[in-house]
Amino acid sequence: MCGIVGYVGEEQATPILLEGLEKLEYRGYDSAGVAIYDGKKLEVAKAKGRLKILKDMLHGGSDLKGTIGIGHTRWATHGKPSDINSHPQTSVSGKFAVVHNGIIENYLSLKQYLMRRGVAFVSETDTEVVAQLLEYYYKGDILEAIIRVISKVEGSYALGIICEDSPNELYAVRKDSPLIVGLGQGENFIASDIPAILNKTRDICRLNDNEIVVLTRSGITVYNTDKEEISKEPEHINWDISAAEKGGYEHFMAKEIMEQPKAVRDTISPRIKDGRIVLDDITLTPEQIKEFRRIFIVACGSAYHVGVVAKYILEKMTHIPVEVDVASEFRYRDPIIDEKVLVLVISQSGETADTLAALREAKRRGARVLSIVNVVGSSIANESDDVIYTWAGPEIAVATTKAYSTQLAVAYLIAIYMAEALGTITPEEYQEYIQELETLPDKIEKILENKQDIQYFASRNFNAKDIFFIGRNLDYAMSMEGSLKLKEISYIHSDAYAAGELKHGTISLVEDGTLVVALATQQKLFDKMMSNVREVKARGALVLGLTVEENKQIEQEVDFVFYVPKTCDIMLPSLAVIPLQLFAYYVASMKGCDIDKPRNLAKSVTVE
């Protein structure tokens, strides 16, 4: 959500900022802007709409000269999208310019405080309050002014700051919103995500909460709020810039769907050694596992849907009761938690605001926290007792695909690992699960080889007005993800329902031509699912069936069928999700939607 880039060096800053912001377009935004020190004063240029508008306005950056600056892509929270509300925001005299990710929760009281003292505001944003406070508290020491400001503001923030009085220094600070520092030769950078600066440097430092960094051409200095210098260990980024580029695909989402066999293999293979699951990442012992009386799974969006699948699997395999919570609900519902509870936190970015807050609430109540995260060194990873990284590589498309699949793979590893420690599966079952895990990447590859079948069905139904996804047990959990994937990129209304609930109201919505996607991969529930298919067919529905290869009789019941290879029941979600992702992608593509940057959505939701 939103994007920040900052530069100080010897080159012209504006083209570098614009190029960096282009790499962050996937995060979701509705306006863009830059602030540059041109040798005399701060110059600001910003525009509502896509980054291209700003880029064209500045002729690729050549119109705005200067070797230090900050840039931003904004996703509106306070104030509608407009040129005025775009970032950077400046102080009343223009001395300070600020870019900001996050939300200042007490901005209104601070704004009123400043207005009573004669400060005039021009925007509706919470960010302008930060710029105005900086000037209000500034008495010649910028670092001191920043410390005073962050002592007053409440909420989350990643801030990039430049000041006319210090034309060779770029300042940044963060709290609960990601921000990295890029280390170059004769130049240094700030950014809200690695792809923005990866073509300039591979050496970064990650800021922790309330750490302030001062960047010059020659180096960086990090301070705490007592003005004490902090030593930071640089981190070298190994993945290639091509991993964050389309590589010949029309969309990042298409590329990332096709990367799933490799991503799942990279997640699983290093953790299976000599036929056994080895989780070197965690310190959780078998003795501690035996002490748990309940497991909570906390996540948002697609990660929450991984959690729903994991609930079925963990309860079946470990016999421990599992609750799944949307993170924004968990943190406010006064959950009953103590030291005998394991909280499993799932987040692609490791910075999801509600999930991070839920993690802190769980730890405050004494729970042990194990997180599944993709981004090394992220806030959730750092604050968990244990973390298992998915190693999915960068995921650029807003609609998650490979992050979902790798999170699911880690959920299997955890379930099997815990079940063996508890003695709730036999040695023979343990080996069977290991063998099935190792074959998952090849089976995903096989599904992708037949993607043209789903493409054909999508071409016949991309004009559907309403689509319902139905399933039972694990298939119901998969229905939720299939429905979300479709609605978020195609803008078609879709809903997921437990098939057994159809007669309790939902079936009243089914009429001639209604498209129903029926998942029937669970063998023990196949006959019951066929009864539900007949119910919707009798009311005029068009049905896409999704099942395993051995259930050929489904062809007598549905209008179109897509088969996935057979595996053990608990791992079928890893296969069933692939055609659901493909269906959503092809429908959105045929509708001409902006697939990688769907309207109103952001990749990482770092505000509440």
Catalytic residues: 2, 603
Q: What is the DSSP string of 366-427?
A: T-EEEEEESSTT-HHHHHSSEEEE-------SSS-SHHHHHHHHHHHHHHHHHHHHHT-S-H
Does residue 237 sit in helix, strand or coil? coil
Compute the distance between CA of residue 572 and CA of residue 522 in angstroms, rounded to an integer: 8
Reported as type and span, the H/E element at residue 373 is strand 368-373
Strand partners, 515: 467, 542
Question: Are the C-beta atoms of 51 and 25 separated by less than 8 Å?
Answer: yes
Question: Are the C-beta atoms of 442 and 261 separated by less than 8 Å?
Answer: yes
Q: What is the DSSP string of 461-496?
A: HTT-SEEEEEESTHHHHHHHHHHHHHHHHH--EEEE
Compute the distance between CA of residue 536 and CA of residue 528 in angstroms, rounded to an integer: 13
Q: Is the dihedral angle over the CA atoms 258, 259, 262, 265 positive or is it negative?
A: negative
Sequence-distant (6+) residues with CB within 8 A of 168 are: 8, 68, 216, 217
State residue 76 phi and psi, 5-degree precision.
-60, 130
Angle at 322 between CA 320 and CA 326, to 5 degrees: 165
Question: Are the C-beta atoms of 17 and 34 separated by less than 8 Å?
Answer: yes
In this structure, which amino acid lies at residue 81?
Answer: P
Question: Are the C-beta atoms of 129 and 157 separated by less than 8 Å?
Answer: no
Angle at 574 between CA 290 and CA 385, to 5 degrees: 35
Question: Are the C-beta atoms of 90 and 97 separated by less than 8 Å?
Answer: yes
The separation between CA 406 and the C-alpha centre of its own chain, rounded to angstroms, equals 13
Compute the distance between CA of residue 181 and CA of residue 4 in angstroms, rounded to an integer: 11
Question: Are the C-beta atoms of 231 and 220 separated by less than 8 Å?
Answer: no
**Alpha carbons within 13 A on the beta-carbon side of 309:** 31
Q: Is 83 exposed, middle or buried (0-12, 13-18, 19+ CB in 10 A)?
A: middle
Q: Is 385 exposed, middle or buried (0-12, 13-18, 19+ CB in 10 A)?
A: middle
Helices and strands (H, E) in the chain, number of each type = 18, 27
Nearest to 27 by CA among 62, 60, 63, 51: 51
The tokens describing 365, both together, are 């109540």
Compute the distance between CA of residue 121 and CA of residue 102 in angstroms, rounded to an integer: 20
Nearest to 301 by CA among 488, 153, 135: 488
State residue 155 phi and psi, 5-degree precision.
125, -150
Question: Are the C-beta atoms of 192 and 174 separated by less than 8 Å?
Answer: no
Does residue 199 sit in helix, strand or coil? coil
State residue 196 phi and psi, 5-degree precision.
-65, -30
Compute the distance between CA of residue 316 and CA of residue 411 in angstroms, rounded to an integer: 13
